[in-house]
Chain A
């Protein structure tokens, strides 16, 4: 089922005008605060009445202002995961989890309660009250509550923004599992490119109420116009080979062997790794005697000079694209041109654990 959104809404001093489609998998609405992400997701949820809109999930119309149709939120069959959790304080965790199920139609396809509780690791919390939970636990319960409402669409509004780094690292894998375990579209609002890299099947980048870029995370994160030169990043896929005693993991990707700070995934797992463009150094010859452990080899496909002193150089490594942010002076001095073979140097420690995620459908178009 595909969610199609076409929406215009005017606030004093702010116009939102957005059209996009969300396929099964995670569609990340990506942008800075004030870009209109939350307004958009609230319009999909029915918590906001847009001026002009048509929002439909498959052929099921949620809003069509032209036809004077507006489905109230309780009839939209949603699982909305809020930034602040919004658990009901007067109910136990179990009652919170079962709240939506009670209102779901009898013939709805239900998630198994035990399976969801296991997936989220909240079995030991069932008889507690939300007030007694940590931030990460609350958010896991909120995910479970949304999932158990038998939703046709899952919405998540910056579900990790209120958590510290350790809690984010705790919750992100659950969203990865969710993406891989349920076959419904997930609309996920975020301003973090690390979350985009780990979770997104499709990215819709927003700025000032307009869509600035749309596509796979590789495309959008590498899009300087949407990300800005400092935000540009690439996503490489790699297979975990082994974990070593010195705290590093060996991975094999299309560009060669990589060494990363120990990743949480078992050998054999295929993972995606986000690499910020400004963490990449280029070299025409294969460098030797370097402290940096990762030297990947690829073919230059594109050189994109910026307006300032910088330039973005894209290297093809099999299916993957690696973007390096270097100076225009360096591009001239090295004499690099598209078609040449080039080496990319990346420090292992530049890659943080939150940059590493499970792969499912990395969005190659033929998989759909």
Chain B
């Protein structure tokens, strides 16, 4: 990259940008299979506790982010029940690590992802899946060859929406994993931190610009990909 751009952001700012991208990338990638599964289950299956699952998935959308972050802290923190278990048995610690930031971002973005994919699943005609079954495809094959290709535009839209949300996540992240430079200080946390010190406005302003660019790029990219895939899928 030209020096003007690499030096436009200071090392701390670069660190925050890269960390944000890494956190959002892993948050989206890991939650995507689970998101597809939950969206499919909510759209197609009838099972006891369906409304409970639906409520749980949507909770982070409605709860104050601080509450979600606090709930994560008391379950996945080093003193939390799940957190203790993970540390004792697997030596995994997520509290105050970038992995914890990814978990917080993933949980906060999950409802958006599921909603987008669920709409896509509901738009798939179950008669096409029945037709595939009569032609010899077992349920997993029907999903892989008919359902998944047809919901792909929704999956992509959901993933990019989740990615954008994960980049901007602030409340749950700072509550759960705090604001540690190089470990959990993502773009929003960094902006917040810069604004707390005298003369930090300039650095904060630069990160604001970066945040706007990333958000716009994600939106445009998602529109572009979704349109291309939709055209391919619709069969015209």
Contact = CB atoms under 8 A, between A and B. Distances in A.
Interface of A: 45-47, 72-80, 82, 84, 86-91, 99-100, 102-104, 129-132, 145-146, 149, 155
Contact of A131 (B130, B131, B142, B234): B234
Contacts, number: 81
A84 B232 CA distance: 21
9 contacts: A73-B134, A74-B142, A82-B131, A84-B127, A88-B131, A88-B146, A132-B236, A146-B135, A149-B135
B166 interface: no
A131 B137 contact: no
B150 interface: yes
Given A47-B130, A79-B135, A103-B136, 13 more contacts: A78-B135, A86-B125, A86-B130, A89-B234, A90-B146, A90-B149, A103-B135, A104-B136, A129-B236, A131-B234, A131-B236, A132-B235, A145-B135
Interface residues of B, number: 24
B133 A72 contact: yes
A103 B130 contact: no
B132 interface: yes
A279 B146 CA distance: 50
Contact of A47 (B134, B149, B232, B233): B134
Contact of A88 (B132, B139, B232, B236): B132
Nearest to A83: B127
B131 A74 contact: no
Interface of B: 125, 127-128, 130-139, 141-142, 145-146, 149-150, 232-236
A129 B232 CA distance: 9
Contacts of A104: 136
A143 to B, nearest CB: 13
B232 A99 contact: no
B235 A73 contact: no
A128 B133 CA distance: 23
A88 B131 CA distance: 9
Contacts of A99: 132, 135, 137, 145
Contacts of A72: 133, 138
B133 A73 contact: yes
A78 B232 CA distance: 28
Q: Which 8 A-B pairs have the closest CB atoms?
A: A103-B136, A89-B235, A131-B235, A100-B135, A131-B236, A80-B134, A86-B131, A129-B235
Contacts of B128: 86, 88-89
A20 to B, nearest CB: 21
Nearest to A99: B135
A104 to B, nearest CB: 6
Contacts of A77: 136
A33 to B, nearest CB: 18
Nearest to B150: A90
Given A103-B137, A103-B141, A89 B132 contact: no
